[in-house]
């Protein structure tokens, strides 16, 4: 889950990282009081789950409360990179002498966190010359950042940022710019934090964060319900919590991330419109898949169901099918159902599907690995349009 800048700054402050004084404003009129509290030049910053606000004109400097209100009024109705602006943060305008860059994220090659620092910040780190970047691999068993690799002041902030990363179960924390003021103090002028969704079960406090989605709209009822499937469990096995609602009428239940994207294309190429995007993976247990399938099938107006996946390596096809079957036994859809799947326990899985189709008189067609996935979309299209 990505955090808004103001949420990131709240966390930074809690870990002792200096942030500009300021407050969150949701109505333009409130910007006046916020301006008065700061007493001087302010910067009004749009809060949206999108970067590059500076370039988009969503960071405004204001010298009066009238100007602050006007800026808030304009920013609050903006969208940035498809994302709504849900609030603005009115904060003291800093006198920035120099912009640094500091972040911690996972290095997927080294398979450990890495701290990235550059004295040339403000811009995207991708645009900074490699020679100006310091990378410090971090060991999650150590609470401290190795000494002697960063300027002394930066090291102090880096140390706090590392605590923040570890204790909040972040996937990424980024301070860009880390502003150096004229007197040498360092202040986090921006905050970007991505939390690790898989750590939800040990962070009750995350429930207080308002709902958000990267789709730039509120979650639908079914999306919210699916999200809950993987949350809060005491164990971890497989995911069945991915569901994006779309405006078509063909329900899909995909397994595996890559193939499922190709499947969406195949579906559309054959003139069908997906009712949803869904994907379960990592060998989830029957109950999780059943919960997911029930929600997928609950969408009104469906005209077909496509259950598709590649050749699984270790996902138990029979077990996951059993979850889908639990839902089919309840819903007993009248529309055509096309299944394409292979992998461990595929024979047993197909047998279970056949039995389910027979006892519920379902219009079901089964395919194994001998037929390419995309072709089975053509079969579904034929049946739906019959
Ligand atoms: P982003 O564009 O979404 O990453 O938003 P930032 O919060 O990083 O702001 C973009 C740029 O605006 C920064 O790199 C700074 O140059 C500038 N900026 C932001 N806050 C302040 C501030 O308080 N004072 C000054 N002088 N510049 C600021
Ligand atoms: Mn920034």
What pTM did the predictor assign? 0.75
Does the CB atom of residue 122 touch ligand 1 within 6 A? yes
Ligand nearest to the CA of 56: 1
Pairing mode, if any, of strands 96-107 and 112-118? antiparallel
The closest alpha carbon to 104, from 96, 88, 115, belongs to 115
Question: What is the rounded distance in angstroms from the CA atom of residue 105 to the CA atom of residue 196?
Answer: 11
Complete DSSP assignment for 48-86: -S-S-TTTTT-EEEESSHHHHHHHHHHHHT-EETTEE--
Atom number of ligand 1 nearest to Cα 95 = 26
Preceding peptide of 177 cis, ω within 30°: yes
Q: What is the pLDDT of residue 219?
A: 87
Q: Long-range CB contacts (< 8 A, 24+ apart) of 353-357?
A: 353/321, 353/325, 356/325, 356/328, 356/329
- Partners of residue 181 on adjacent β-strands: 96
For ligand 1, mutation pick of 8, 46, 54 (most atoms within 8 Å of CB): 54
Predicted confidence (pLDDT) per residue in 228-254, tens digit: 898 766 666 888 989 999 999 999 999
Structure confidence at residue 234 (pLDDT) = 62
Asked whether residue 160 carries a pLDDT value surpassing 90, the answer given is: yes
Per DSSP, 274 falls in state: B
**Of the candidates 94, 373, 91, 104, which has an alpha carbon nearest to the alpha carbon of residue 259?**
373
Ligand having the closest approach to the CA of 100 = 1
Mean pLDDT, rounded, for 89-113 = 96
Indicate the average pLDDT of the chain.
95
- Measured in Å, residue 325 CA sits from the centre of ligand 2 at 48
**Residues above pLDDT 90, as percent of the chain:** 86
Contact in structure between 303 and 275 (CB atoms under 8 Å): no
Spatial distance between the Cα atoms of 146 and 137, rounded to a whole number of angstroms: 9
Give the nearest ligand 1 atom to 50 CA: 3
Q: Whose CA is nearest to atom 10 of ligand 1?
A: 54
Distances (CA, A) of 169 to 2, 92, 197, 239: 12, 29, 9, 19
Structure tokens at 76: 């609050």
Average pLDDT over residues 191-219: 88
What is the rounded distance in angstroms from the CA atom of residue 232 to the CA atom of residue 214?
21
Closest ligand to Cα 9? 1
């Amino acid at each position: 889950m990505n955090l808004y800048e103001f949420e990131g700054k709240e966390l930074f402050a809690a870990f002792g990282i200096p942030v500009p004084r300021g407050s969150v404003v949701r109505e333009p009129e409130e910007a006046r009081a916020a301006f008065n509290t700061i007493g001087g030049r302010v910067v009004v910053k749009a809060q949206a789950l999108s970067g590059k606000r500076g370039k988009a004109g969503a960071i405004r400097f204001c010298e009066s409360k009238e100007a602050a209100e006007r800026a808030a009024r304009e920013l609050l109705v903006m969208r940035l990179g498809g994302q709504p602006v849900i609030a603005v943060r009115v904060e003291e305008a800093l006198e920035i002498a120099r912009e640094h860059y500091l972040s911690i994220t996972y290095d997927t090659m080294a398979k450990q966190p890495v701290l990235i620092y550059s004295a040339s910040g403000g811009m995207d780190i991708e645009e900074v010359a490699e020679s100006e970047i310091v990378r410090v691999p971090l060991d999650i068993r150590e609470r401290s950042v190795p000494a002697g690799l960063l300027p002394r002041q930066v090291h102090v902030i880096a140390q706090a940022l590392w605590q923040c990363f570890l204790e909040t179960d972040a996937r990424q924390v980024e301070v860009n710019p880390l502003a150096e003021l004229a007197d040498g103090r360092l202040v986090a002028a921006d905050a970007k934090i991505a939390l690790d969704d898989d750590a939800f079960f040990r962070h009750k406090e995350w429930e207080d964060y308002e709902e958000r989605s990267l789709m730039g709209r509120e979650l639908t009822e079914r999306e919210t319900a699916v999200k809950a499937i993987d949350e809060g469990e005491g164990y971890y096995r497989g995911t069945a919590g991915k569901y994006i609602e779309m405006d078509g009428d063909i329900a899909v239940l995909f397994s595996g991330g890559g193939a499922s994207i190709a499947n969406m294309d195949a579906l559309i190429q054959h003139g069908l419109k997906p009712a949803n995007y869904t994907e379960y993976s990592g060998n989830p247990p029957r109950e999780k898949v059943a919960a997911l399938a029930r929600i997928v099938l609950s969408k009104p107006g469906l005209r077909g169901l496509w259950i598709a996946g590649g050749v699984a390596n270790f996902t138990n096809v029979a077990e996951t099918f059993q979850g889908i079957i639990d839902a089919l036994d309840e819903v007993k859809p009248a529309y055509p159902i096309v299944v394409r799947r292979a992998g461990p326990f595929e024979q047993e899985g197909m047998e279970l599907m056949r039995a389910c189709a027979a006892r519920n008189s379902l219009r079901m067609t089964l395919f194994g690995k001998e037929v390419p996935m995309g072709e089975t979309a053509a079969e579904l299209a034929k049946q739906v349009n019959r």
